[in-house]
Structure 1
């Protein structure tokens, strides 16, 4: 599920700018899901929702490992003292960390959105259980009246 989510959005992205745009679309989908959960329009079977949440959490953990690797690119050493070597090291640093458009930055945003999606699934499961319990209580009161 998460693989299809990622490949569908990020798989079509070209370069860092494309990845940033795809992350914006993912955030927008999460915003819509958040609104549905908050308004009570989205409630999910707890088993299915919790399984989906675990998949997204697992993917977020994988992406977190990539964040750490990409972050290491910001500190490239051993290229020498020449100006061209220092410029090259600086370019690696910018590709790794550049506000919101560096590789580590984009990956960190992806990790955050995956964790957010997992939390939304967990909340949808809780809402399902709460609604189910409320219906059960209402039925008990109705049968006792």
Structure 2
């Protein structure tokens, strides 16, 4: 399940990121959707509506953590794009180099590296949420065991 959803998350953002500013805006919108899904998942966990088998939850969390590392590697590579050289000394060449810089990191969280960093953070958050759901499952299981034990002793 986690691999399929993860592929969908990355594919949606990757597809939206293709192209110029419109692509980055689309990637930002997809990232907002992922954040919203994580918010909803967190609410379900904190309200007790969602508990997950620890083995399955931990496997899913591991997948999200590995993908977060992959995305972090991409973000680091994107940061390097702001140092594009070799366009020459003409004003138009310098403007083009400046545009590459803005697409890599622009300080407004809409550059490629910025968006990838946010995606990495959401992937780590999702892994943490899965681990939290696993803990709730174990806590509930322990509580049921204690209740049953007390009931059999009475």
Identify the TM-score tier after normalising by the shorter chain: over 0.9
Q: Structure 2: 5+ residue runs without aligned partners?
A: 18-22
User: Where does 1:62-101 land on structure 2 (aligned, <5 Å)?
Assistant: 62-98=70-106, 99-101=108-110
**2:7, 2:92 → 1: CA distance?**
40
SS of 1:10's partner is helix
Q: Tell me by how many angstroms 1:86 deviates.
A: 1.6
User: Where does 1:36-51 land on structure 2 (aligned, <5 Å)?
Assistant: 36-51=44-59
| Map of 2:20 onto structure 1 | none
Q: TM-score, normalised by structure 2?
A: 0.88
| Map of 2:149 onto structure 1 | 140
| Map of 2:136 onto structure 1 | 127
Q: Tell me by how many angstroms 1:65 deviates.
A: 0.3
Q: Structure 1: 5+ residue runs without aligned partners?
A: none
| Map of 1:110 onto structure 2 | 119
Q: Tell me by how many angstroms 1:11 deviates.
A: 5.5
Whether 2:41 is the aligned partner of 1:33: answer: yes
**1:88, 1:5 → 2: CA distance?**
31
**1:139, 1:49 → 2: CA distance?**
26
Q: How many residues align structurally?
A: 144
| Deviation by residue 1:84-109 (Cα, 9 ceiling, x = unmatched) | 22211110110001212110111111
Q: TM-score, normalised by structure 1?
A: 0.93
